[in-house]
Structure formats: C-alpha cells, structure tokens
Amino acid sequence: MTAHLPALQVVIPLLAAPLCVLLRSRTIAWLLFLAAAVAALVCASVLAWQVADGEVIHYAMGGWEPPAGIEYVIDRANVPVLILVAAIGVAAAVYCRASIAAEIEASRIPLFYACLCLNLTGLLGITATGDAFNAFVFLEITSLSSYALVAMGRRRRALLAAFQYLIVGTIGATFVLIGIGLAYAVTGTLNMADLAQRLPDIYGNRALGAAVIFVFVGLAIKMALFPLHGWLPGAYAESPSAVSVFLSATNTKVAIYLLLRFAFGVFGAALVFGRMPITEVGLVLACLAMLVASAVACFQSDFKYLLAWSSIAQVGYIVAGFSLATSDGVTAAYLHVINHAVIKGALFAAAGIVVLRLGAARLSDMAGMGRTMPWTFAAIVLAGLGLVGVPPTAGFVSKWVLAEALIADGRWAVLAVLLVSSLLSLVYVGRVIEAGWFRRHSESVAVERPPLTMSAAMWALVLVSLVFGLVPEWPLSLAEGASSVLVGVAK
C-alpha cells in the first residue's frame, strides 16, 4: 500500500469532495474534510520519512511510463510543502466546524466543505506532480474553489473581492498555460524532468524566453508578488475566517513552490538566473514589496486587512531569498515559507475568533480585548512577535537565515531594506497590541469564551511557531534538503 501513497494523498481529498455533495449532511461533510486532511498529512509524513535520505519516489499514473504518461515525483523539494499544506488543512478543519456554523447558512455548508476539499486536492496535486500541464490542471481546481470560498464571506464586499480575485487570478492562470504551451511547442514534451533535459539545447530560443516570462508573471500573480498583489487584501480580509486561515497559509506558498520548481527543475537556473535578469528583477520587486506593503499595513484600521498587507510584505522576504539563486537563499525562502505559513495561520485564526466574539475586527473594536479576551490576545501577541522576528520565535530564525544568505551574497542594500521592513512590522504589530492592551473600551462588556475547537487550532499553530523558533532543527533540515535538491539539480 505504501507504493500508492503519492497518488493516495491527492486522491483521498479528491474523493471526499464529491461525497460531500452527494451525502449533503453538514456533519458528514465536515468529517470528510477532516478525514481527508488527516489522511493527506499521514501520507505526506510517511513520504517525508521515505525520501529523507535523498531518495526520489516516482509514481506513474495509469501505469504509463513518463514522458508518455503523467508521473508524480516526490522528493525533498516538495515534501515540506506537502506536509505544510496537509497540516494547515488539519488545523483549518478543526477550526472551521464552529467558525463556519456561525458564518454560513446551513444549506450551503456541505457544498462549502466540498470546495474546501477541492482546494486541498488542488494544492496537493500542484505540489506532488512532475508534469507541467498537470500542475496547471490542479492550479485551476485550486483557483476556482478559492474564488467561491472567498465569495462566501459574511459581508457583501466579499463578492467584489472574489470577483477581483477571479479576474486577476484567471489572467495569471492563462499566462501560466501560455507559457507551458510555448515550452511544449519548442520541445514536444510536458514532463518536467524531460523538459529540463531538452531545454538546455535551445537556450536562447526566443519562444523559450517568452515561456519563462509567461510562467513567471502568471505565478507572480498567484503568489501576490508586488505589484501584482491587488487581489490579495480583499480576498484574505473579506473571506470567512476559516478560509482566511487556510488560504493565507497555503495558496501563495504553493504558487511560490511551483515557481521554484519551474525555475530550478524545468527551465534551469542557468537560463533563469544566468541568461535572464530574474535575480535583479526579483530583488527589486521583493524590496518594494517589503517596504510598500509593510508601510501600507501600518495604516490599516482593520486587523484582517493589516494581516493581509503584511502577507504581501512577507512574500517579499521569500522572493528575496530565492532570487539570490544560492543554496542559502533557497533555504531561507523555504524556511520562511514554512514559518510564515504557521504564524499567519495562527494570526488569522485569532482574527476569526475576534470577529466571532466582537462582531468585527476593526482595531477600534479590539480596544481593551487584552482584558476581555486575554487568551486570544496572548496568542496574537506571541504570533505577532513571530511576525516581527523577535528572538526566540520562528520569524527570527527565518529572517536570520535570510540575512545570512544576503550577507554571503553581498546584497547589503537588500539587507537594509529587510531591517527597515522589520521595523515597520514592529509598528503595525505594535498598533494591534496598543489597541488591545493600552486602550480601554468605553463600556466593559463580558465576552463569552471562544469555542474550544477554534482556540485549540489557534493555539496549536502558535505553539508550533514557538517550537520552530526554539528548536529550529527540523524545519531547517527540511528547507536545506529542499534547497539541496533544487539548487543541486542546477549545478
């Protein structure tokens, strides 16, 4: 049975989605989503253990040998992302039972869980596949279900946010498809490994150059790299709480993984970073993202919008890491993908509890919540310190590794921007803490305890972020393994 794990971890969530629609019971649908996420996590963990010593697992779909057939390739570059997505899926599943019941009309809930299952399927499928076109197919599954999930937000503005996300996201997906199509036209293959083998012979081909540009711009939209981030604030802030937790921690991260896979595993670092100025473009955009998005976050009056703008800035850190194209830089990028996903998941979980109990997440509504909701506030403080990068939190570790990578490459200007952006993040996290602790609400109201499952999921994510800060060996080894596979391939 273990031979089928690469397929099963995607097929189980895939089967859960139609079952949710068919059985149309709220409880069963929730159980199916939870079971699918747990099963995917188990599969991913076993796979991680199997590839830990550098082995690569190939799984030929339909029994057809690649490149004629589609294959799944599990190596140390994608298991960290698989574990991350599945684990966040489990946390979101635990979290969403109470949260969804409060936010969405009962008759929509089974279909809603079907969308969550589909989203999970898509994310895992993109990560596991070794076929360029197959990655696009699963990107479509993820995108379509994300649009619907965002549109389920409690305010009418969610519909507008979802529509914006739909238009921009569709353009991004189309660009990826055009890029893959051009690469196919000049090689005749869609298998990533086969492409990587054939492409070096035709470096300098203008169609190939355009293919790189299309795939990268398309994925830059999907991962909300500045200045293509327009869809993100509305999508994260207006979506239902559980969806914010899940999407913020996984969607952009998987797009980043796919970009890394295309850069190192398909087009090749020699083309992308050697012949094309992706390093320079990436670093400039990353610096702009860190500065502008952090600055905008400082002026937000809504906690969820603040977190969303901070996410755009954090994408900047990750892009700065892998743009260096050094092994240290890619390690830093992977580490920050993991750490930021956990931290941002925890913060959006806390924001969801705030919305549930206080009715809105405006900073003015949060005045005095340090006294009325002490535990939730404590979680916000702990995760917020991680976001700033105060030692000994997870955010500190990944920023430190990133700073080391920048110093090793002699990018002092980027390092300076990193420091300024961290100071700005201190400002915006400080504003939240100031609102919650130092300001008093006009009338003191007793706030009911949040549902146990929601706070359990939030605390699990907060604790993981603390553990990753205190004992960073495991995530660091995952990130180093990934970068050795990706950058090692290029050399």
Partner 1 sequence: MSLLVLMDVSLFTLLLATALAITRLRALYEATMLTALAGLLSASLFVVLDALDVAITEAAVGTGISTVLFIAALRLTRSREAVTPRRRLWSGGAVAVLLGATLLYAAQDLPPFAEPDTPVQTNPVTQTYLHESQEDIGVPNTVAAVLASYRGYDTLGELVVIFTAGVTVPLLLLRTRRRAERDEAHAGEEGAEGGTEPGTEHGTEHGREHSAEHGAEHGAEHGTEKGAEHRSARAVVMSEYRVLRVASKVLMPFILLFACYVLFHGDYGPGGGFQAGVIFAAGFVLYSLVFGIGEVERVLPWPVMLGLVPVGVLLYAGLGVANMALGGAFLDYDTLVPGHPEEGQHYGILIIETGVGITVAAVLIAVYYSFANRGARR
Residues 208-237 that bind partner 1 (CB under 8 A): 208-211, 213-214
Given candidates 38, 184, 196, 441, which one binds partner 1 under the rule CB under 8 A? 184
Minimal distance in Å, beta carbon 210 to partner 1?
A: 3
At residue 81, φ and ψ (nearest 5 deg) are -70, -40
Residue 115, interface with partner 1 (CB under 8 A)?
A: yes
Residue pointed to by tokens 């955009």: 285
Residue 156, interface with partner 1 (CB under 8 A)?
A: no
Task: Return the closest-CA partner of residue 345 out of 462, 451, 230.
Answer: 462
CB atoms < 10 A from the CB of 277, how many? 11
Cα distance between residue 477 and residue 374, in whole Å: 35
Minimal distance in Å, beta carbon 392 to partner 1?
A: 42
Residue closer to partner 1 by CB (options 186, 420) is: 186
Residues 381-400 that bind partner 1 (CB under 8 A): none
Residue 180, interface with partner 1 (CB under 8 A)?
A: no
Residues 128-147 that bind partner 1 (CB under 8 A): 131, 133-134, 137-138, 140-141, 144-145, 147
**Segment contacting partner 1 by CB under 8 A, of 28-36, 88-96, 100-108, 433-441:** 100-108
Minimal distance in Å, beta carbon 195 to partner 1?
A: 11
Minimal distance in Å, beta carbon 290 to partner 1?
A: 24
Report the half-sphere exposure of 491 (CA within 13 A, side-chain side): 9
Cα distance between residue 381 and residue 393, in whole Å: 12
At residue 57, φ and ψ (nearest 5 deg) are -100, 125
Residue 44, interface with partner 1 (CB under 8 A)?
A: no
Given candidates 39, 74, 114, 333, which one binds partner 1 under the rule CB under 8 A? 114
Residue 105, interface with partner 1 (CB under 8 A)?
A: yes
Residue closer to partner 1 by CB (options 91, 192) is: 192
Residue pointed to by tokens 């002092």: 412
Minimal distance in Å, beta carbon 249 to partner 1?
A: 21
Residue closer to partner 1 by CB (options 198, 275) is: 198
Q: 291: which 2 tokens? A: 């500065």
Residue 203, interface with partner 1 (CB under 8 A)?
A: no
How far from each other are the two terminal CA atoms of the chain, in whole angstroms? Answer: 35
Which helix (H) or strand (E) is 74 found in, with range?
Answer: strand 71-74
Cα distance between residue 69 and residue 58, in whole Å: 12
Residue 28, interface with partner 1 (CB under 8 A)?
A: no
- Residues in contact with partner 1, counted by CB under 8 A, come to a total of 63
Residue closer to partner 1 by CB (options 54, 277) is: 277
Q: What angle do CA 82, 85, 87 make, to 5 degrees?
A: 100
Q: Give the strand pairing for 71-74 and 57-60.
A: antiparallel
3 burial (CB, 10 Å; 0-12 / 13-18 / 19+) is: exposed
Task: Return the closest-CA partner of residue 108 out of 29, 164, 14.
Answer: 29
Residue type, 199: L
Residue 64, interface with partner 1 (CB under 8 A)?
A: yes
Residue 124, interface with partner 1 (CB under 8 A)?
A: no
Q: How far is CA 113 from the centre of its chain?
A: 19
Q: What angle do CA 350, 144, 181 make, to 5 degrees?
A: 125
Residues that bind partner 1 (CB under 8 A): 4, 7, 11, 14-15, 17-19, 21-22, 59-64, 67-70, 105-108, 111-112, 114-115, 118, 121, 125, 131, 133-134, 137-138, 140-141, 144-145, 147-148, 151-152, 178, 182, 184-189, 194, 198, 205-211, 213-214
